[in-house]
Amino acid sequence: MTPHRFVGDVLASLCAVGPAPTNASLVEIVERSAEFMSWLHVVRDLRLESWCIGAGAVRNLVWDSLQGSPSVSALSDVDVAYFDSNHLSVEHDERLLDQLRAKRADVPWEVTNQAGVHLWFEQYFGHAVEPLHSLEDAVSTWPEYATCVGVTLREDDTIGVIAPHGLDDLFSMTVRRNPVRVSVETYRARCDTKNYAVRWPRVKIVPV
């Protein structure tokens, strides 16, 4: 049995019958992924005050691990979220994106200042939202509870976890709508296009 499959089996068993998964469970998976750790180091070099890699990048890492895959499956983007109320321009995000691409052009980076989401959200999604107050506040609004998770790398090389709704859905491989900002229509469209059950047969989708 490979180490990856062993970790996946242990964590899957923990989530199925044991206590709720802890931040340590996620940190263990992150530390075992050389690729994900390399992403964290590259983003940390931007010297942002409040940041994380989150959403689908973390979900894929965990779900791949739980199913015994030794690497992260294909991602449309690696979401870098940060919070800086002093730099709300799109140009600032683009400058940061250029810096990441200069370091790792092979990674599909996406950079978003969560402090400025309210400035463009209505244009893209059809309804206005209130300004966010922190990175933790932002992560709590992401589309599904399983993706409301972010990971950061501190200066002392320890890993920080942002999980305002906990880790239960992530580790039980459950897709459940977070109603804070995502409409029923958007949630259903995401479920239709992301092919969760095809990529991860153990996924459970909660209908709305």
- Residue ranges covered by each domain of the chain: 3-205
Radius of gyration for the alpha carbons in the chain, expressed in angstroms and rounded: 17
What is the average pLDDT across 153-168? 98
- Would you say residue 7 has pLDDT above 60? no
> What's residue 122's pLDDT?
81
> What's residue 121's pLDDT?
85
DSSP string, 154-179: -TTSPEEEE-TT-SHHHHTTEE-B-T
Provide the CA 182 distance to its chain's centre, in angstroms. 16
Report d(CA 167, CA 170) in Å as an integer.
5
Which of 17-21, 46-50, 145-149, 179-183 comes out lowest in average pLDDT? 17-21
179's CB contacts (< 8 A; 6+ apart) are none
- Give pLDDT tens digits for 59-94: 999 999 999 987 778 899 999 999 999 999 999 999
- The secondary structure of residue 19, as a DSSP letter, is S
Long-range contacts made by residues 84-90, C-beta under 8 angstroms, separation at least 24?
A: 84/48, 84/49, 84/50, 84/113, 84/115, 85/115, 87/113, 88/113, 88/115, 88/116, 88/119, 89/116, 90/120
Pairing of strands 204-205, 174-175: parallel
> What's residue 14's pLDDT?
43
Encoded amino acid at 182, one letter: V
For residues 63 and 147, is the Cβ–Cβ distance under 8 A?
no
> What's residue 124's pLDDT?
81
pTM of the model as a whole: 0.88
Provide the CA 123 distance to its chain's centre, in angstroms. 23
- The residue that leads in pLDDT, 9 or 206, is 206
